Amino acid sequence: MTFEDIKEGLKKISKLMNLNEKEINILLKFKRIAKKELEINGKTYDAWRIVHNDSIGPGKGGIRFHPAVSEDEVKSLSFWMTVKTSLVGLPFGGAKGGVKINPKELNKEEIEKVSRAYIKTFNEFIGEDKDIPAPDVYTNSQIMGWMLDEFEKIKGRHEPGTITGKPVELGGSILREKATSEGGRIILNLFLERMNKKPRETRVVIQGFGNAGMNIAKMLHDEGYNIIGVSDSKGGIINKSGLDIEKMIKIKKEKDSVIYYPDIGKIYNKELLELETDVLVLAALENQITEKNADRVKAKYILEIANGPITSGGDDILCKKGIIVIPDILANAGGVVTSYCEWVNNITGGIFSKEVMEGILKEKMTTAFRRTYELYEEQKTKTFTMRNAAYIIAIKRILGAEKARGSI
């Protein structure tokens, strides 16, 4: 159970921070858990919108369409959004949504019906100063466009700040498509500078070749990193001399999987996680490295682009092995930083230019990295991780807001 794993991780942090029972309970409490059933063409689908904490600001978080969506997963994702937005200094809390559905089995018209049904069902819970959805797994800007349109029809007014990740024509950000990957690239470069390691000396393996994985592969390849292995849901490929990323992206878009890359070694997804490499980028789903396989991981450093790809037990093993993990709440925060810029532009009439937004993204990611890494370095213990440091910084801000409100 993913949220049970979060509780285990929070126990470790609470000991490091000397949190009392009331503070721990506040961190585990949810502002709102809304579960509904969507009815489309005679079929019903479970759907959720959950807000974890809004002490700092309105809820913020994506909506995913996936057959494995569950309440436990959405709770976990909303918790991670709370600490993520806190860590990078945004005026948001954490939220998440999902529909238990397989979008690969639906045509465009059916996906639009699901999108509009979601808003018809949950519109009372969202708003630009209440809870602000965005894209997530198997949702995109077009789906956000349908959702905004439905919301504004119901409310009878324009409110573009209610949803981010929209098409540019509806007030979306031109940076959004690559924002998560760009944030991850910034963080990885800053980290490797501290390790005195240059891109051309660095081998990279990427698990997950969806939007985020594909974009960060292109970015790192262009900077001179040696991408030696990638995988998607159908399998992976490996070439220790380096992969042609442009060719791979073309194949992925045409055939929907990297495994069709010709004349090259094929590998199972689980084997890819165990390749010898400098950097392992986790850009797929949750719970990919656990106590069952962590001991076989050979990467020196791990960059978490996905949410929660390493369990608490897996984290402990990696730490004992000396593998440094750059945590998800830091590494993948570029998406929500750019969503913040889009939201500000929507509610103010567009005061940020592209250059200003790029500057905000770089500043927010750089500041969060510096604070996290400096706290990590200060501890100088084998059991204190970058994840510990990131959570401590984020939780201090959340509890500070709760104390200011009189909740503690």
Residue 273: the pLDDT is 96
Residue 270: the pLDDT is 86
Residue 102: the pLDDT is 95
Q: Is the dihedral of CA 392, 84, 328, 293 positive or negative?
A: positive
pLDDT > 90 fraction of the chain, expressed in percent and rounded: 90
Residue in the block written with tokens 């962590």 = 294
Q: Per-residue pLDDT averaged across 79-88, rounded? A: 98
| Selection from 233, 231, 48, 22 nearest residue 125 by Cα | 48
Q: Does residue 144 sit in the same domain as residue 234?
A: no
With bands split at pLDDT 50, 70 and 90, how would you rate the model's confidence at 54?
very high
Position 23 in a domain? no
Residue 34: the pLDDT is 98
Q: Does residue 195 sit in the same domain as residue 311?
A: yes
Q: Does residue 371 sit in the same domain as residue 402?
A: yes
Asked if 79 contacts 71 with a C-beta cutoff of 8 angstroms, the reply is no
Residue 286: the pLDDT is 87
CATH of the domain at 368: 3.40.50.720
Position 90 in a domain? yes
Q: Does residue 157 sit in the same domain as residue 302?
A: no
Specify the amino acid at residue 216: I
The span from the CA of 233 to the CA of 209, in Å, is 8
| Selection from 31, 88, 89, 94 nearest residue 61 by Cα | 94
In this structure, of 1-5, 78-82, 104-108, 214-218, the range with the lowest mean pLDDT score is 1-5
Specify the amino acid at residue 366: T
Domain boundary among 118, 137, 172: 172
Q: Is 163 helix (H, G, I), strand (E, B) or coil?
A: coil
- The order of strands in the sheet holding 324-326 is 265-267, 235-238, 226-232, 203-207, 279-282, 301-304, 324-326
Position 13 in a domain? no
Domain boundary among 146, 172, 198: 172
| Selection from 163, 97, 172, 90 nearest residue 130 by Cα | 163
* Residue 171, Cβ density class (10 Å: 0-12 exposed, 13-18 middle, ≥19 buried): buried
pLDDT > 70 fraction of the chain, expressed in percent and rounded: 100
- Mean pLDDT of the chain, nearest integer: 95
Domain boundary among 112, 143, 172: 172
Specify the amino acid at residue 207: Q
Q: Does residue 109 sit in the same domain as residue 178?
A: no
Position 89 in a domain? yes
Beta-sheet pairing, 94-100 with 59-66:
parallel
Q: Does residue 119 sit in the same domain as residue 142?
A: yes
Is the predicted pLDDT of residue 380 greater than 80, yes or no? Answer: no
Q: Does residue 295 sit in the same domain as residue 284?
A: yes
Q: Does residue 179 sit in the same domain as residue 152?
A: no
- Count of other CB atoms within 10 angstroms of residue 155: 12
Residue 269: the pLDDT is 83
Q: Per-residue pLDDT averaged across 32-45, rounded? A: 95
Q: Does residue 238 sit in the same domain as residue 363?
A: yes
Q: Per-residue pLDDT averaged across 257-283, rounded? A: 91
Position 21 in a domain? no
Quote the domain boundaries for residue 302. 174-408
Is the predicted pLDDT of residue 1 greater than 70, yes or no? Answer: no
Is the predicted pLDDT of residue 321 greater than 90, yes or no? Answer: yes
The pTM assigned to this predicted structure is 0.94
Position 77 in a domain? yes
Residue 233: the pLDDT is 87
Position 36 in a domain? yes
Q: Is 310 helix (H, G, I), strand (E, B) or coil?
A: strand
Position 360 in a domain? yes
User: Per-residue DSSP letters for 203-252?
Assistant: EEEEE--SHHHHHHHHHHHHTT-EEEEEEETTEEEE-TT---HHHHHHHH
Task: Report the b/e string of 367-390 with b at 16+ CB within 10 A.
Answer: ebbebbbebbeeeeeeebbbbbbb
Q: Does residue 194 sit in the same domain as residue 165?
A: no
Q: Per-residue pLDDT averaged across 261-266, rounded? A: 83
CATH of the domain at 60: 3.40.50.10860
User: What is the number of structural domains in the chain?
Assistant: 2
Phi, psi of 158, rounded to the nearest 5 degrees = -85, 130
Q: Does residue 124 sit in the same domain as residue 188?
A: no
Residue 2: the pLDDT is 79
Q: Does residue 240 sit in the same domain as residue 93?
A: no
Residue 219: the pLDDT is 97
Q: Per-residue pLDDT averaged across 62-72, rounded? A: 96
Task: Report the b/e string of 14-43 with b at 16+ CB within 10 A.
Answer: beebebeeebbebbeeebeebebebebeee
Report, as residue numbers or ranges, the catalytic residues: 96
Calculate the CA 31 to chain-centre distance: 21
Is the predicted pLDDT of residue 56 greater than 80, yes or no? Answer: yes
